Amino acid sequence: MSSLLAEIAELVAQGHANAASKYPPSMLGKPGVAEKVAEALENGIDPRQIVEEGLTAGMEIVGKRFGSGEIFVPEVLMASKAMKAGMEILKPQLGQADVPRKGVFVLGTVLGDVHDIGKNLVRMIVEGAGWEVVDLGTSVPADRFVEVTRELRPVAVGMSALLTTTMQQMAVVVDALHKAGLDVPVIIGGAPVQAAFADSLGARYGRDPQDAVAYLNELVGQN
């Protein structure tokens, strides 16, 4: 990775979108992701390389730091905004470069549960890692998971729940997928979810967003 791409990755991780951004306060007026992405383009670096080795690499750093407890939800949100600032600069070039995504990941909070903070964090970090995330939202019934899975044939389906009562809906979804003949890997997570429960469903336990990224990459044979 060139030093400029490494700089972009770290700026994403720090959540510094552009020179006008007030976050973090110590970097106000200093070049951010937007300026550095523009510089990379001026230097002839391929847009796909900027995405993969700059923006995506930065979100991978964010995922690892979040998983280890070094940063928290606000920092992840700012990093996501910083990445989007870089993507805005790249949009005209990306249309021509046809940057491939790793695959489709269907994600939703199960029926009866309207909590979405954890799901949204997963979406941001998985998208940042180069995946197309189809977010079904909250309180998603089993038949909706089945419908979208049948239509899109995703690499995996992800489910989130914050309550012990709604957690049981995960079993309903897994059963519905099996009955529909959809043999798709499932990853589940949320405050009440434990590895033993995931094992009982034949699903993967996602401890944090970076764990979801690692599992998805594993499914498509990437490091």
Could you report the per-residue pLDDT of 187-199, keeping only the tens digit for each? 999 999 999 999 9
Cβ neighbours, 10 Å, residue 55: 26
Q: Residues spanned by CATH 3.40.50.280 within the chain?
A: 104-219
What does CATH list as the number for 104-219?
Answer: 3.40.50.280
Cβ neighbours, 10 Å, residue 45: 18
Q: Residues spanned by CATH 1.10.1240.10 within the chain?
A: 3-97
Pick the CATH number of 3-97 from 3.40.1410.10, 1.10.1240.10, 3.40.30.10, 1.10.8.50: 1.10.1240.10
pLDDT value at position 96? 58
**What's the mean pLDDT when you consider all of the chain?**
93
Q: Does residue 9 have a pLDDT over 70?
A: yes
**pLDDT by residue (tens digit) across 14-38?**
999 999 999 999 999 999 999 999 9
**Which tokens go with 214?**
């690692």
**pLDDT by residue (tens digit) across 98-153?**
567 899 999 999 999 999 988 999 999 999 888 999 999 999 999 999 999 999 99
Check the CA dihedral 25-19-4-125 and report its sign.
positive
**pLDDT by residue (tens digit) across 56-113?**
899 989 988 998 899 998 999 999 999 999 999 998 887 655 567 899 999 999 999 9
Contact indicator for 44, 2 with CB cutoff of 8 Å: no
Percent of the chain past pLDDT 70, that is, above it, reads 96
Q: Which residues contact 86 (CB under 8 A, 6 or more apart)?
A: 8, 12, 33, 34, 36, 37, 50, 54, 55
pLDDT value at position 99? 63
Write down the pTM of the prediction: 0.80
Q: What is the mean pLDDT of residues 41-63?
A: 92
pLDDT value at position 149? 98
